[in-house]
Amino acid sequence: MQTLIAFVLVLIFISLATVRYRLNPFVTLFSAAVVYGVLAGVPVESVVGIAAEGAGKIFALLGVVVFAGSVIAKVLEKGRFQERIFSDLRSFTHRPALTGGFAGFILAVPFMCCITAFIVISPLLSCFSDKKKAIYGAAIGSTLSFSLIYPTPVTIAAASAAQGFSAGEYMTVALPLSIVLLLAVGIGIGRQKSTAEGGDMVCAPETGRRAWIPLLLPLALTAAAVVWPVFGKGSISAALLVGMAGALLVLAPDLRYAALKDGTKHAGVIIYDLCGAGALGATIMASTFATDAFALFGDAVPPVLVPFLLGILLQAAQGSRVVTAVITATMVLSSDYATAIGQVPLMLMIAAGTLSVSAFSDPFFWVVRNASGDSVPAVLWRYALPLSAASLVIAAVAVIIEMAV
């Protein structure tokens, strides 16, 4: 009971620090890790060391992929390559929500960050007369791929809890599911009342087809690394580093240096935040919280639903999808649920948890609100609600797969 009370108090602390006072996520999460450890009965002399070790494990897991993704994002931005990519996608569909959705969906994976993908593509959405539909499509598309497609920080963290994880087996379910959800949301947004004034603008890209190289090269190499993991568990990191190097070579030397410099700075901010999540997860696991929490569920909750319920609680409290995935996966890994649930349903349930609550504590919520200029209720209706609905669909699919096995 002591650990459960400590956990609730720390969630309240995180919510106040991040939502109300907008404190730095790393400082908030690392402080929360120390506070939780002390309240939960972890030996005081060990708390800081355990938190630091947890942060280090997350850096080892995600540091390289986040760095490479951040630099690739800056390559597209400095070279203005996103203009050509957006223009090409627009030639397939003139629906603002679907064009924005597929642009965000594609960019979020190599960028390793859904918010970065949205920020890079959002200036181009003004080409549409109904810019708001494109904005919501891009936000939802980037979030869906970031939470479902392997490899991203969310799915890499979730995979750490899946026994005998097979990327191919998981992606045969996750990829078509995510595309169907994106199409459904895009069509749904498209049917909403239009706010367009006049016709679409002509936004002609200044770059040629080589603009796709910095995007497709890392994706192709990552796919190859999944099929042929030459470097073992480090194969994806190695593939993204090579892809990043190839992307940099497309730029002129002066832009190459600027992209590397800005990408490194951006990656540092992201990885520190993720390391804060690792610190909190480590102190939680050093206590008896997992045992106490899972005992609370008992036989009343089917095992397959437990990761989803934990994810909802964590996502509502602090808003970061990666933090939710890291802590949920860490807790599941230390329990019997890791072997009791199939790898695909387990990963889908963790992904569903990260999408469950996309409101006030979610930093992306406020980014979308600023970009759209809409009221809070409007953003809840057009961004948070579709993602919550997608979360329930994903959870339902996971239950069906688990029951069928």
- pLDDT tens track for 126-160: 777 778 899 999 999 999 999 999 999 999 999 98
Kindly report, residue by residue over 331-379, the tens digit of the pLDDT.
888 788 888 899 999 999 999 999 998 877 687 888 898 888 888 889 9
Kindly report, residue by residue over 93-115, the tens digit of the pLDDT.
778 889 999 999 999 999 988 99
pLDDT band at 183 (very low <50, low <70, confident <90, very high): very high
Q: Is the pLDDT of residue 69 over 60?
A: yes
What's residue 199's pLDDT? Answer: 47
What's residue 198's pLDDT? Answer: 46
CA dihedral 276, 278, 281, 283 (to 10 degrees): -80
Of residues 31 and 290, more confidently modeled: 31
> C-alpha distances in angstroms, 398 versus 177, 294, 393?
11, 20, 9
Task: Look at the pTM and tell me if it is higher than 0.85.
Answer: no
The rounded distance, in Å, linking the Cα atoms of 57 and 277 is 11
Kindly report, residue by residue over 244-253, the tens digit of the pLDDT.
999 999 999 9
Kindly report, residue by residue over 258-313, the tens digit of the pLDDT.
999 999 998 888 888 788 888 988 898 888 887 787 777 777 889 999 999 989 98
The rounded distance, in Å, linking the Cα atoms of 295 and 208 is 59
Task: Confirm if 372 and 135 have CB atoms less than 8 A apart.
Answer: yes
Query: Average pLDDT of 8-15?
Result: 86
> C-alpha distances in angstroms, 188 versus 133, 181, 202, 373?
10, 10, 25, 20
The rounded distance, in Å, linking the Cα atoms of 332 and 90 is 42
Hunting for tokens 């992929």 — which residue is that?
A: 65
